[in-house]
Amino acid sequence: MKRLLHKKRRTLNKEYSVLIVKPHNIENRTNEWTNKFIMQAFERGVGEYWGVPTKTPELARNRAIHKFLHDPKHMSKTHLFFIDDDSPPIETFAIEHLRSHNKPVIAGITPIVRLNQQTMDCTWSAVLMDKKTKVMSNIGIEELPKKLFKAHRVGGTCLLIQRRVLEKLKPPYQMTIFNDNYTDVKLSEDVYFSDKIREAGFDIWCDPDIQCHHYHEFDLLDIFAVVRQLKHIA
């Protein structure tokens, strides 16, 4: 019995290398598949989980970064992993996979659908910049690179960041910037964070093999599959 208690105590006191952070709404509702992904990572000894109730994602992420950098409990952790409640990675071992690349900042890919008045844009959660024209564009549904690539900006739905990167940044780490009349968003918190990372001298990488679901009323990956079928039929 003493051996079992000793073994359990060692497991609970384990030093996790990753702090897994998930902002969620103040009512504490959460997606079951996201919870499953997080708990499996915790049980494998990969990361310690901290769910942050918040009204906006940037408040939760700013608080998490501060805690990661200054709380003695987390000083030994080497990485911070951001995950959104509605976007769990398909790959169970996504964190280990991303960490194996040994990049300062690396993200998985999440599908995004934007409904315009007459069209439906299906893109991925990464923005590329043309080196010659300096024009930025989202990655289209059929334009996803086959191997690891650099992005100009990424979303925060599946994002692994080394400690040394965050130590170079100054708060606020994430912030939404509005236009002069506060009638529209000029820069989202993810864009602001990506720009801040690059300005600090770090590249942002993406692994196309780590794809995430994106649940709203339905999974946006299912929408991507339908769009692909329609294109082939046409």
Is residue 1's pLDDT more than 70? no
Residue 167, judged by CB atoms within 10 A of its CB (0-12, 13-18, 19+), counts as exposed
According to the model, what pLDDT value does residue 26 have? 63
- Quick one: pLDDT band at residue 27, thresholds 50, 70, 90? low
pLDDT given for residue 195 in this prediction:
97
**Could you tell me what percent of the chain has a pLDDT over 90?**
67
pLDDT of the residue at 61: 96
The token pair at 122 is 């299906």
> What CATH code is carried by the domain that includes residue 80?
3.90.550.40
pLDDT at site 11: 44
Amino acid letter, 174: Q
* 223 within some domain: no
Tens digit of pLDDT for each residue in 80-126?
Answer: 999 998 899 999 999 999 999 999 999 999 999 877 666 778 899 99
pTM over 0.75: yes
Whether residue 171 is contained in a domain is answered as yes
Confidence at residue 118, expressed as pLDDT on a 0 to 100 scale = 67
Domain contains 174: yes
116 in a structural domain: no
Residue, of 1 and 57, whose pLDDT is higher = 57
Q: How far is CA 176 from CA 132, 172, 186, in A?
A: 28, 10, 8
**Arithmetic mean of pLDDT, 169-185:** 93
Q: Per the domain annotation, does 155 fall within a domain? A: yes
In this predicted structure, what is the pLDDT of residue 234? 56
Parallel, antiparallel or unpaired: strands 105-109 and 158-162: antiparallel
Is position 160 within any domain?
A: yes
- The domain tally of the chain equals 1
194-213 tens-digit pLDDT: 999 999 999 999 999 999 99
Asked, for residue 232, whether it belongs to a domain, the answer is no
The residue range of the domain holding 65 is 11-110+144-216
pLDDT score of 6? 45
The yes-or-no verdict on residue 25 having pLDDT over 80 is: no
